[in-house]
Structure 1
Amino acid sequence: MVTAYNSHWPCLFPQHGPGKKHERRIELQPWQRQIVAEHPWRFVRGLVHSDGSRITNWTTRVVRGRRKRYEYPRYFFTNKSGDIVRFYCETLDAVGVAWRSTRSARNAYSVSVARRASVALMDEHVGPKY
């Protein structure tokens, strides 16, 4: 366990505040936006590794009278904070990744990346979770 106390922590982590992060406004400071703009894939990788996953999805279809199973990879990112999901989606747009978003019954937002070219980009830059 690491513990640190300093009155300047809010300067380094301006998103920190009282209450749950999904119940309060989160905004990136200009210096943080600049870092994200310079290193978008590191930002995406950090978000996926903290609140996302890469899975193999599957479905079946009838082809010439026979049921055939298809498997394909996809990425999911889920978070209750609309602001964090917005940062993620804006960054995906900036790097050219196609995505879709839904709101689940748990009041969380889920973002899915399933198109082959976009999954390939994510595989190239995000990699496996540690």
Structure 2
Amino acid sequence: MNAFEATYSILSNDAELSYAVKAIRPIVLNQDDQFPAIVYQCISENPTISLDGDSGNLDSVRMQVDSWAFSMKEAQDVADLVRDAMNASVDYGIRFDGSSYTYEQDTKRFGVQSDYLLWVRPKNTK
């Protein structure tokens, strides 16, 4: 399972989070998606390096999960649920790596952008 699949699985299978949001999408929301909503994307993917070079069986992936809503409080509440879901995952090594806050003037939506480091096996390994 790659990092996109893992992130979607974690977020969509969390009952409290799934109840709280109207959409969970990779990269970009659809034009007709309702809010609050979550968008996730891969920021970077790096091999785990050992003394012999690329270990070949574990990648460190930085995923950004953006929580969008019509108020900062609602965006933060969703971001907190995302963090709870990511922290509860037992299938992947996941570490929260900070958040930033934003406001989109054109759409009048508030956002919390949270970064997570996931350790996943590349597709070509067993």
The TM-score range, normalised by the shorter chain, is 0.3 to 0.5
Question: Which protein has the bigger strand share?
Answer: 2
Question: Which one has a bigger Cα radius of gyration?
Answer: 1
User: Normalising by the residue count of structure 2, what TM-score does the alignment of the two structures yield?
Assistant: 0.40
Question: Which protein has the bigger helix share?
Answer: 1
Q: Which has the higher contact order (CA 8 A, sep 6+)?
A: 2
